[in-house]
Every structure is written in C-alpha cells, then in structure tokens.
Amino acid sequence: MTEINRPLYGQGVRDGLPYVLVILPFAILFGVVATEAGLDIAQTMGMTILVIAGASQFAAVAQMSDQAPVIMVLATSLAVNLRMAMYSASLAPHLGGEPLWRRALAAYFLVDQSAVMSIEKFEVEPQHSGVEKLKYILGVMTPVAPLWYGGTLIGALVGSSIPESFALDFAMPITFIAMIAPMIKSLAHLAAAATSVVLALILAGMPYGTGLLVAGLAAMIAGALVETALERRAAGGSQA
C-alpha cells in the first residue's frame, strides 16, 4: 500500500509519535512550574485541558509569578499564541467548509505539533477530504494530548520531588527548534526568526514580559518587509 493510500488517522499517529520524547518532560515541567507559582492541582489541570497551548501557559504562569496585572497576563498569552492565527489561515482552505463542530474540534487540537505536521501534509496531499484531514489532525494528537494532560498531572503531584539534575527545562527549546527549523524556508522566514530571537534576548529585562510582545510584533514586521521587498525585486526582474 502506498503512503498516499494509507488511512490518514494512522499516518497522523505515526507522525505524532516522535513528539512523545519531548511532550512528556515539557508537560511535567509545566505542572511543576504552575504549582510552584501557586496554582493548585485543579487550576493547573484546568489550564492545561482548556488552553492546551504550552508556550502561552508558561508565559501566563510566569506573569502570574511576577504579580503582573491581569491585562498583561492576557496580552502576553495572546501574543504568544498569535501564531495560531497563522496556522488557522493556512488550514482554512482545507477545513473551512466543514461543519462547525468539526472545525471546533480541529481548533481545540490545533497546537504546534498538529499544525506543523498538518500544513506540511496537506500542501503535499491536498486531494483528501476535509473529514480525512481532520482524522490526520486527531491522529497526530492521539499520542500527544494524553501525554500533555498526564505529564502535567505528574508534575503537579510530584514535581517538588523531581531532582534538578533531570533538567526537564530542556524540553521546551528542543520542541520548538524541532518544529520551527524545518519551516524556515525563505529569507522572510529567516528574517522574522532572527528578529524575534535577537529582540527577545535584548528586551528580556522589560517588565511583565512586554519584551516578548515587542519582539513578536517586530518579527512579523521584519518578515513582511523582507517578503514585500523580495516580491518587488522579482516583479522588477520579470519586467526587465
């Protein structure tokens, strides 16, 4: 049976399995950080199940630990999750015509892992139906979501007894490097990534994590400017 003819749910499960290596320590780390920030187990699990977005959850908890105003907690979490809007725009041509409940289900399980894998998959194989594409997303999340929920619970329950030598915080940067690096396919992508990294480091001392907001906005502007310049150059070259 060829790859293109295999059921998409099974392909999704297979494609999601490698993330198991980093999702579990990532989730455990969040459980530890959340409880250390003062959240009880119910609050920690409620955030993980309802939000299901690791980066914004860490950002929110960090803001809470710094006693930031509620508006800053929300603004920072929103800024961190703005990439979901770009993911949604990329997947809209594939799932936009599906019933509301299917789109809602896809939206809930739209995280970095499912979005990155799905966008790449659907660009190569756009001929699948919306139902099959939703099955692929659910397949990717089958090994990911339970570990995210379960790992958070483990971290919240026994986090204080986990030795620091385990260095669970390695999971976050490795996860994002593994997902984002293959997506940097153009000069505009590189400009946006470089701008965000440099400014996030430079502005790390700004209060309430506002440096992250500035870095994200600047990265989007840099990427758009580079892409526009490249398009103008290409248009000028074709007219010559």
Q: What is the DSSP string of 147-168?
A: HHHHHHHHHHHHGGGS-GGG-G
Tell whether 96 and 151 lie within a shared domain: yes
Tell whether 205 and 99 lie within a shared domain: no
Residue 199 in contact with residue 215, Cβ under 8 Å?
A: yes
* 174, part of any domain: no
Tell me the percentage of the chain whose pLDDT exceeds 70: 83
Of 108, 138, 167, which residue is a domain's last? 167
Mean pLDDT of 178-205: 77
* 120, part of any domain: yes
- Backbone dihedral region of 141: left (phi > 0), alpha (psi from -120 to 50 degrees) or beta? alpha
* 212, part of any domain: yes
Predicted local confidence at residue 135, as pLDDT: 95
Q: Count the domains in the chain.
A: 2
Tell whether 151 and 224 lie within a shared domain: no
**What residues make up the domain containing 102?**
3-167
Tell whether 55 and 132 lie within a shared domain: yes
Tell whether 45 and 123 lie within a shared domain: yes
Torsion over CA: 208, 210, 212, 213 (sign) = positive
Tell whether 21 and 121 lie within a shared domain: yes
Mean pLDDT of 140-166: 84
Torsion over CA: 158, 163, 164, 170 (sign) = negative
Least confident of 45-54, 119-128, 222-231: 222-231
Least confident of 57-66, 91-100, 105-114: 57-66
Q: Give the pLDDT confidence of 37-90 residue by residue, as tens digits.
A: 888 999 999 999 998 888 888 888 877 877 778 888 888 788 778 778 878 888
CA pair distance 170, 188, nearest whole angstrom? 28
Tell whether 153 and 111 lie within a shared domain: yes
Could you say which DSSP state residue 128 is in? S
* 177, part of any domain: no
What is the C-alpha end-to-end distance of the chain, expressed in Å? 49
Mean pLDDT of 202-228: 81
Tell whether 12 and 98 lie within a shared domain: yes
* pTM, to two decimals: 0.73
CA pair distance 212, 203, nearest whole angstrom? 7
Tell whether 161 and 226 lie within a shared domain: no
CA pair distance 31, 36, nearest whole angstrom? 9
Mean pLDDT of 191-195: 85
Tell whether 21 and 65 lie within a shared domain: yes
Residue 199 in contact with residue 219, Cβ under 8 Å?
A: yes
CA pair distance 103, 70, nearest whole angstrom? 29
* 175, part of any domain: no
Tell whether 41 and 146 lie within a shared domain: yes
